[in-house]
Amino acid sequence: MIFGNPETFAVEIGELMNFPGFPGTYIQFRFWVGNVPIGDWNDRISLRASTESAFRICEAELERNNNPFDQAETAELFKSIYEAYFSCDYINDPVSWRSLSAFYHLDQIGMGAIEDKFGLILVTTKIGMERVIVKDLKKSLFLADISMPIGFVESILRDYIAWGRNQLDVGDICASKI
């Protein structure tokens, strides 16, 4: 199942699975950005945790839109958001650390299928567009830098969240009848 358009931005979901001894529903997950698949299709991630991360990104839409970035080079913008998160002094400045993560880091939605392999950020620019930037962390190469209308990514994430919550509700109903 694909939410969105792989040529620009999409979320792809594969098989839903339950593992004995592990509570919850697990899914195959990957993003598509600029026709490039982003994620390890062989990994399985928690549907609940993934949709919660997507919800946090959507909740931060107004904050992102109120704090747009200048049109900067891909590497410069990625460094100022993605890499700044890992160098932040989160003990002395917990607000910046949480803001960088919750507002901009799409990779958290894909959890283990993405986080250790790719960095993905979502920013709003001063020219009224959203940018999704993807970096292959192992090869240290930028794979995509796509601009879309404001709200495009969030609309796709909202569809994914609604679908995910429906799947979880069905699973909870089935589990309660056992």
pLDDT in tens, 81-105: 776 665 555 566 554 545 556 688 8
Model confidence over 47-63: pLDDT tens digits? 999 999 999 999 989 88
Nearest to 29 by CA among 3, 56, 55, 8: 3
CA-CA distances (angstroms) from residue 165 to 50, 66, 151? 11, 28, 21
Q: What is the pLDDT of residue 85?
A: 60
User: Any idea what the Cα angle at residue 153 is, between residues 37 and 84, rounded to 5°?
Assistant: 80
Q: Measured between alpha carbons, how far is 128 from 147 in angstroms, rounded to an integer?
A: 10
Mean pLDDT over all residues of the chain? 86
Q: What distance lies between CA 124 and its chain's CA centroid? A: 15
Single pTM value for the model: 0.86
pLDDT at 111 over 90: yes
